[in-house]
């Protein structure tokens, strides 16, 4: 049962990071998107567009790692098979990286606490549950 709940949280964390990728790398030119990230005007959005594009792909790669890890974990069927161990490792690495990125975001100032909580809560819960799955 813990494995199922852990998988749900890991998958939700992955989906959230895919959504962040879409905003940063695909929809960045839309004012509603760059405003969500605290960017003040179009000129500033244009200036940081390359950074947002790159950062979006970081989020996508973490999401892909979590999803592939989940697939390997379930394909392994438990019991310490190669797929099980590889899947757990990949999920824990991906979720841990998401949590670490959220922690780093908190060092950018108090206004980033809420986004850090949004970015880091699902992977943190998934990470802890995967430790016991």
| DSSP states along 20-49 | HHIIIIISTTSHHHHHHTT--SHHHHHHHH
Closest by alpha carbon to 121, among 33, 10, 22?
A: 10
pLDDT digits over 85-133, tens only? 999 999 999 999 999 999 999 999 999 999 999 999 999 999 999 999 8
Tell me, what's the pLDDT at 133?
87
pLDDT digits over 40-81, tens only? 999 999 999 999 999 999 999 999 999 999 999 999 987 789
Whether the full predicted model's pTM is greater than 0.75, yes or no, is yes
* Total of domains in the chain: 1
**How confident is the prediction for the chain on average, in pLDDT?**
96
Range of the domain at 80: 2-132
């Amino acid at each position: 049962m813990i494995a199922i709940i852990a998988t749900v949280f890991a998958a939700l964390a992955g989906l959230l990071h895919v959504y962040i990728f879409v905003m940063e790398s695909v929809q960045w030119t839309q004012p509603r998107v760059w405003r969500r990230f605290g960017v003040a005007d179009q000129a500033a959005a244009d200036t940081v567009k390359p950074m947002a594009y790159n950062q979006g792909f970081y989020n996508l790669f973490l999401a892909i790692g979590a999803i592939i890890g989940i697939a390997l974990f379930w394909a392994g069927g438990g019991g310490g098979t190669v797929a099980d161990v590889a899947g757990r490792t990949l999920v824990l690495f991906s979720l841990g990286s998401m949590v670490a990125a959220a922690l780093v975001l908190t060092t950018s100032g108090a206004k980033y606490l809420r986004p850090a909580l949004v970015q880091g809560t699902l992977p943190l819960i998934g990470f802890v549950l995967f430790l016991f799955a």
